[in-house]
Structure 1
Amino acid sequence: MQVYTAPLRDMRFVLHELFADRPFGPLALSDDFTPDLYDAVLEEAARMAQEVLLPLNASGDLEGCTYENGVVRTPKGFPEAYARFREGGWAALSSDPRWGGQGLPETVNKLVEEMTCSANLSFGLYPGLTHGATTAIEGHASEDLKQAYLPKMVSGEWAGTMCLTESHCGTDLGLLRTRAVPQGDGSYKLTGSKIFISSGDHDLTDNIIHLVLARLPDAPAGVKGISLFLVPKFLPNADGSIGPRNGVAVAGIEHKMGLKASATCQMNFDDAAGWLVGEPNRGLAAMFTMMNTERVSVGVQGLGVGEIAYQSAVAYARDRLQGRALTGPARPDLPADPIIVHPDVRRMLMTMRVYAEGCRALGQWTSQALDAEKHGTDPEGRARATDFVALMTPVVKALFTDLASEAANLAVQTYGGHGYIREHGVEQFVRDARICQIYEGTNGVQALDLLGRKMPANMGRALRPFFHSVSGLLEELTGTTDKVLSIHATALHQAFGALQLTTGMLAQKGLKDPDEIGAAATDYLRMLGLVGIGYCFLKAERIAQARLAEGSGDEAFYRAKMATAGFFFDRILPQATTGFLVIKSGKRSTMALPADAF
């Protein structure tokens, strides 16, 4: 059974309490944006997720999208759900009010994204891709293109996509072959094929706006010769109404392991009219505006799946009777005890729980930086936020989705044989979560980006906001008389020390041999991410203890937060320390076997 209730109490905690100190400085936001307003938005989003989207999750997976006679259709109920989603203003939540958006901060928007993706990840991709496309258009397109397309895209009336991948090239975009030929009126004619295009076609909106990477006739080879073009499915008339069909067609939809209710299309462009976004041959920089936005959102997708997997596993563990507690019957009135009494089941549930709460907290820290980049009033704070976002984007994408996949598998394990069959719905979480580790750049690519690009850039400047925050909290807790905080601060200090040692070691090794970076990258990303989560849990624990001492209410929540933090420091954070030993072993054993011996 798929069980989900939006974790509003924990969302309010990370939004209002955990980072109330505004780590990147004050923000210039509307005076209307109050904590009460944010809470009302979250409560309404929870209703949308639980009452409209969740009931379509399993049925959408079973039915899937269909493609017939050139037409792609989403599963039953999706068009109606999307209409309610758009009419409720959810598509425009954090977009610029200039284009009809509501201008809410990303700290709120990302929590709403999480709820949407918990309830129905396939559905969440449709508005999610559109939001990413509007970000790229707003950042790089001409004023005329913005005026023509952004209002309808921001409202959700029109959708957006990102068209990068071709059958012969994925991550290596320098190999792409799609061509764009300039016309006399300032437009271009695009010809080529793309694959794996999420939301490439569907029946949710009247028009779909494709952002397409292509080459100009005189473009230099490689990634330095890629330009970005806006290519609508239907060409708009002068008054903004839908005009003639453009030279864009669907060749088919992919038959996938998961996300079956999300249309993933093969697209053909045949002399399709398009318009340049940004400068010629600088399309990759423009597209990365969208890709970086999407990478953080993919991390949130993982968090969403991890949360519903956790809740579904808890519900089953409370109801499933099997055996007796090792210490004696816990429910002598029943023929057997619920499996939640068993330590190994608790281990799985607690692991899922700390993954969800830890990622939510780390995601909120990153969202604080996203808001400071856009709305910060302190130039120094904005600069730190920009560095922090650069560092954390690959971490959020890769770590959150890796942990989501682990959580989904743990949910199946909790259910046992019942988890392996379709009827209970948890095997869908495994299938849906798996793609999040692959698209928008595989997690291995994210790790290489972190260690090979972000860490050495500008003499390691991107690491400073992260390192300074962790060291600052540890200094504040030096000499604390609280035994639990002291033990956990010591654990974080050890993990942080291992991270610092590893960072210095790899900086030296990488100068001599890039393969050392490649061999260490995935382990390093997890190490850094776990230290980041440890920072969030230690900060949360200190807040929880203060609230309990004050007697400010909600005792059960704060005690649960402390228990969850305790499990993280005891059972999960030590992975960061052992990561140092793994990375220290170097590339030798990884690269020792000749390629032809595999």
Structure 2
Amino acid sequence: MNDYQPSTDDMLFLLSRVLKTEDHLRALPAYSEVDAELMRQVVEEAGKFVAAVVAPLNRSGDEIGARFSAGEVTMPPGFRDAYQSFWQSGWPALAAAPEDGGQGLPAVLEAMLYEMLSAANHGWTMAPGLLHGAYECIKHHAADALKERYLEKLATGEWLATMCLTEPQAGSDLGLARTKALPQADGSYQLDGTKIFISGGEHDMTDNIVHLVLARLPDAPPGPKGLSLFLAPKFMPDGARNAVHCERIEEKMGLHGSPTCVIRFDQATAWIIGEPGRGLNAMFVMMNAARLHVALQGIGLLDAAWQKADAYSRERRQMRAPGRAKSVAEADLISEHPAMRRILDTQRAWIDAGRVLAYRTALELDLAKYHPEAARRDAAQRWCSLVTPVLKAAFTQQAFYGGSECLQVFGGHGYVREWGIEQNVRDARVAMIYEGTNEIQAIDFLVRKVLPDGGQALALWLDALRADLDAARPNEARVLDRLAALEVHTGQLLRAAAHDNTLAHWVADDYLRAVALVLLDWAWAQIGRAAAPAMPRWSVPAQALERWVMPELTMRFAIIAAAVEQVPLVENAS
């Protein structure tokens, strides 16, 4: 099938007409010169680069894959040249500060770029995917000497970075990490230990790789509070090779173009980032940025799968579709069959809403940094804290299951490699796992962000969502009703969880899914205001959302209510 083509017209419509991004940016002095025309030019040029340079490498990257030999990794043909063109053209530096070699543009433009990159070639995009998070981590936590040496290289993308957390015995429970850091007389440290599942831990795309590593000092207490963060480059400032060894790369279900490495630190030289024992605090800057990027991966991968399925459905002819087709010539296209239309329109509803929510979240990141009013900064931070885990979990799940639905459009042809859709499904599966599994995202959302303050932050956030709705509009009145129902179920859950500390863990996935569905509904209400009712491009997926997606909300509420009813409340006990 044809390579992915970025949907820049749709993306710009959502950015400008739906989110009214220019109006928000005017309140931020840092972006006083960013207008609609500049954003349009950036997005369109990004789309051209992605389509011409990155997308054509997707198939060969999967089939040839990264190759390991004697500690070295050779990337698939064309990957290095494409990356060199990428960073030299300034794309990794979009949102980095000008004083660090960046372009100082809004985070939402970077988000749109990475959505396109993920859709075009997920394996290739894994390499620069952690760049901005690593840049932010070093900028806010590293000593000046480290910033001087590494910050610009990462801001521009001349060098790539990794995030070394996981160990064989320590997956999501980072407190079990054993990698040791021994202080040296010159102020450096020696790292000893092994990290696994390190994306891009070794490759030939850049001249150096900057590893950010969680490790434990000799006197560190056990558990996560004993972890510190260190920077260990592949090559030292004098050009010597550091004692960082790639022992192997994993044989994976998908993402063959991205080397997932086992990395051994054998008295490797490193420097501490931030304060001893506060490594997770510094690392979370990187992880939170990565989670929004993973949500964007989900949206991009789903769009790529949808594009393939939609194109195939407009070419493949089978029996005559039931009902009235547009013309005799179209009567036997499978795009006219209700079962196929339901699949395609439903995935389109998810993609469009996902863009609204992800772009809004990226915009809120800048508002949290730069808005002159403290109350607005707090509201932006609240949005990012609550929405990011929901987007990561919901849209990576939809990328896999929705991509599988898109494969169904092909019938048996979807199951063979010729058409490329099976690669979408394989590549998408890992996004439900890395950067915190979707189950951990749900627990983080409910147990750590909703319950501790009795739902106060959530209530403020729901009020902000309501402020963007008009009860006089029937479709928006439905969203208001669903927000009210969510608030009722949240209150019941809060009261019951006070008497059963396992309850929230049992229903966290259902609760996050319910919130995601309400957010989809809210996003489509925003689209509905900007799009003319008679425009099929927007009205058809809006109808699909209401018919085929939103009924799930009733089921999720029912699961939560049933679980709550099983908890004997103290105040009701005789």
TM-score by length of 1: 0.91
Matched residue, 1:90 = 91
CA apart distance, 1:406: 1.7
Query: How many angstroms apart in 2 are the aligned matches of 1:85 and 1:101?
Result: 14
**Mapping for residues 448-487 of structure 1, pairs under 5 Å:** 448-474=443-469, 477-478=470-471, 480=472, 485-486=473-474
Distance 1:262 1:587 in 2: 44
State the shift of 1:113 in Å: 0.8
Map Cα deviations across residues 85-113 of structure 1 (whole Å, 9 max, x no partner).
11110111111111101111111110111
What corresponds to 2:74 in structure 1? 73
1:321 to 317, 320, 337: 317
Hey, what's the Cα distance between the residues in 2 that align with 1:516 and 1:560?
Answer: 42
**Ranges in structure 2 where 5+ consecutive residues have no aligned partner:** 568-574
Write out per-residue CA displacement over residues 448-477 of structure 1, whole angstroms, 9 at most, x where no aligned residue: 000000112444343245301332234xx2
User: Helix, strand or coil: the match of 1:235?
Assistant: coil
- 1:8 maps to amino acid: T
Partner of 1:261: 257
Quick one: distance in 2 between partners of 1:305 and 1:376?
32
Query: How many angstroms does 1:513 deviate by?
Result: 1.3
Matches within 5 A, 1:174-189: 174-189=175-190
User: Are residues 1:565 and 2:565 paired?
Assistant: no
The count of corresponding residues between Structure 1 and Structure 2 is: 566
Moved beyond 6 Å, runs of 4+: 587-590
| Distance in 1 (alpha carbons) for counterparts of 2:39 and 2:329 | 45
Q: Residue 228 of structure 2 contacts residue 280 of structure 2 at CA under 8 Å; is this kept in 1?
A: yes
By how many angstroms is 1:122 displaced?
A: 0.9
Corresponding residue number in structure 2 for 1:435: 430
User: CA 1:579/1:333 → structure 2, altered by over 3 Å: closer, same or farther?
Assistant: closer
**1:194-209 map, 5 Å:** 194-209=195-210
Q: Is 1:515 aligned to 2:516, yes or no?
A: no
Residue of structure 1 in register with 2:529 after alignment: 542
The residue aligned with 1:493 is: 480
Q: Does 1:40 align with 2:41?
A: yes
Counterpart of 2:141, as a letter, is H
The alignment status of 1:575 with 2:552, answered yes or no, reads yes
Aligned CA distance change for structure 1 residues 455 and 24 (closer, same or farther; 3 Å): farther
Deviation at 1:124, TM superposition (A): 1.0
Contact 1:75 1:261 in 2 (8 A): yes
Report the Cα distance in structure 1 between the residues aligned to 2:35 and 2:443, rounded to whole angstroms.
Answer: 40
How big is the shift at 1:303?
0.6
Q: Which residue number in structure 1 is paired with residue 572 of structure 2?
A: none
- Partner residue, 2:401: 406
Q: Is the 8 A contact 1:388 1:463 kept in 2?
A: no
Residue identity matched to 2:542: A
Q: 2-side partners of 1:311 and 1:455: how far apart?
A: 37
1:388 and 1:465 in contact (8 A); partners too: no
Match of 1:551 in 2: none
User: What is the DSSP-based 3-state SS (H/G/I as helix, E as strand, rest coil) of the residue aligned with 2:388?
Assistant: helix
Q: How far did 1:273 drift?
A: 0.6
2: distance between equivalents of 1:431 and 1:262? Answer: 13
The answer to whether 1:29 aligns with 2:16 is no
Given residue 533 of structure 1, which amino acid in structure 2 is its aligned partner? L
2:325 & 2:174 partners in 1: Cα distance? 61
Output the CA distance in 2 between the equivalents of 1:222 and 1:34.
48
Q: Structure 1 CA distance, aligned partners of 2:82 and 2:241?
A: 26
C-alpha RMSD of the superposition: 1.9
Matches for 1:292-331 after TM superposition, within 5 Å: 292-327=288-323
For 1:83-162, list aligned pairs within 5 A. 83-162=84-163
Tell me, what secondary structure is at the counterpart of 1:227? strand
Alignment equivalent of 1:447, drawn from 442, 446, 452: 442
Structure 1 residue 61 displacement after superposition: 0.3
Deviation, structure 1 residue 327: 2.4
Question: In 2, Cα distance between the equivalents of 1:465 and 1:428?
Answer: 41
Q: How does 1:370-389 map to 2 (within 5 A)?
A: 370-389=365-384
Q: Deviations 1:209-252 (Å, cap 9, x if unpaired)? A: 00000000000011110000001111113xxxxx1111100000
Is the Cα–Cα contact under 8 Å of residues 231 and 273 in structure 1 kept in the other structure? yes
1:247 aligns with 2:243: yes
AA aligned to 1:471 is R
Partner of 2:123, secondary structure, is helix
Q: Structure 1 residues 514, 328: closer, same or farther in 2, change over 3 A?
A: same
1:226/1:167 CA distance change after superposition, 3 Å: same
State whether structure 2 residue 149 is matched by structure 1 residue 172.
no
- The one-letter amino acid of 1:234's match is F
The amino acid that maps onto 2:445 is L
Superposed CA deviations along residues 136-161 of structure 1, whole A, max 9, x for unmatched, are 11121111111110111111111100
Partner Cα separation in structure 1 for residue 94 and residue 150 of structure 2: 17
- Aligned match of 2:13: 13
1:261-302 Cα shifts (integer Å, max 9, x gaps): 011100000000111101001101111110000011000011
Distance in 2 separating the partners of 1:433 and 1:193: 27
**What fraction of aligned residue pairs are identical, expressed as a percent?**
42
CA drift of 1:333 comes to 5.0
In 1, distance between residues paired with 2:175 and 2:565? 30
- Aligned equivalents of 2:212 and 2:564: distance in 1? 39
For 2:144 and 2:122, the matched residues in 1 are separated by 33
Q: Distance in 1 between the 2:480 and 2:176 partners? A: 45
Question: Aligned match of 2:386 in 384, 391, 414?
Answer: 391
> Residues 290 and 329 of structure 1: is their aligned pair in 2 closer, same or farther, counting only changes over 3 Å?
closer
Deviation at 1:588, TM superposition (A): 9.3
- The verdict on how the C-alpha distance between 1:462 and 1:368 changes in structure 2, with shifts beyond 3 A counting, is farther
CA distance in 2: counterparts of 1:214 and 1:69, whole angstroms: 26
**1:218 aligned onto 2:219:** yes
Contact 1:228–1:287 (CA under 8 A) maintained in structure 2: yes
Ranges in structure 1 where 5+ consecutive residues have no aligned partner: 238-242, 549-554, 591-598
Q: Deviations along 1:299-321, whole A, 9 cap, x unmatched? A: 00111100111111000000000
2:342 is aligned, of 319, 339, 347, to 347
TM-score (norm 2): 0.95
Q: Distance in 1 between matches of 2:328 and 2:517?
A: 41
Amino acid at match of 2:319: G
CA drift of 1:559 comes to: 4.2
